[in-house]
Amino acid sequence: MSMQLFDLTGNRALISGSSQGIGLALARGLASAGASVILNGRDTGKLEAAAATLRSEGANVEMLAFDATDHDEVRKAIDGFETATGPIDILINNAGMQHRAPLEDFPADAFERLLQTNVASVFHVGQACARHMIERGRGKIVNIASVQTALARPGIAPYTATKGAVSNLTKGMATDWARYGLQCNALAPGYFDTPLNAALVADPEFTTWLEKRTPAGRWGNVDELVGTCIFLSSNASSFVNGTTVFVDGGITASL
């Protein structure tokens, strides 16, 4: 009985930014729990390659290419999919980017791109999906936050600001939409070996610092995010709303 709480069979999950890295790992994990997954991104070639990989593993995969920072394009894509194919039961708002520079020299255009990609996309895709979820009286939204939701490091102040905003927007989503049967939460990864962190992974000095700073003493493996994502996407989290769950090896718990 208890394992049935985590069964996603019969649910369809849209994962934004899912052609690689954390998004692809979460798509694979949700598929393993029984969900049909919809891969999203702007590069159709990368999406097709990711879809082929997941299908070869037995997953039921669809693709929906759109720019998550374009409100009108998002609305058209989501509405069109719901009409033509069926409901999106689970949304994983994963699209994101990073830009590193000293704050005093941080380019204004890079700051704007961070805001659009890391914050506005959560609003655009979240709102488009929630409108349909509200009509059905159910739905799961999981926004991908970060260890930088709670902490800061030199050179990434704007990224830190965007991820703090994701956590607060998640609280707002829950406050507005829980009454309609939606559960809206955030998953905050610590330091994981992903393409977004490639420069840090390749830096021995940073890795040494990270291993000392993290109680678990290592980088995270993206597969270690899957369990929390399944929990937040399933009936097991039916009364969990507006929270940010850190999966970070203990880094936010320790000085």
The tokens describing 54, both together, are 């997941």
The CATH number of the domain holding residue 54 is 3.40.50.720
Is 23 inside a domain boundary? yes
Is 238 inside a domain boundary? yes
The edge-to-edge listing of strands for the beta sheet with 182-189 is: 61-63, 36-39, 12-15, 90-93, 139-144, 182-189, 244-247
**pLDDT at residue 1 in the model:** 59
Catalytic residue status for 191: no
- Number of independent structural domains in the chain: 1
How many angstroms separate the CA atoms of 240 and 199, rounded? Answer: 35
Total-model pTM: 0.96
**pLDDT at residue 3 in the model:** 85
Is 254 inside a domain boundary? no
Residue ranges of the chain whose pLDDT lies below 70 = 1
**pLDDT at residue 90 in the model:** 99
Is 255 inside a domain boundary? no
Is 98 in contact with 144 (CB distance < 8 Å)?
Answer: no
**pLDDT at residue 210 in the model:** 96
**pLDDT at residue 73 in the model:** 98
**pLDDT at residue 198 in the model:** 87
Is 252 inside a domain boundary? no
Is 61 in contact with 55 (CB distance < 8 Å)?
Answer: yes
Is 192 inside a domain boundary? yes
How many angstroms separate the CA atoms of 40 and 93, rounded? Answer: 10
The residue segments making up the domain with residue 99 are 2-247
**pLDDT at residue 195 in the model:** 81
Question: Catalytic residue among 66, 123, 159, 191, which?
Answer: 159
Measured at the CA of 84, the angle between CA 82 and CA 87, to 5 degrees, comes to 30
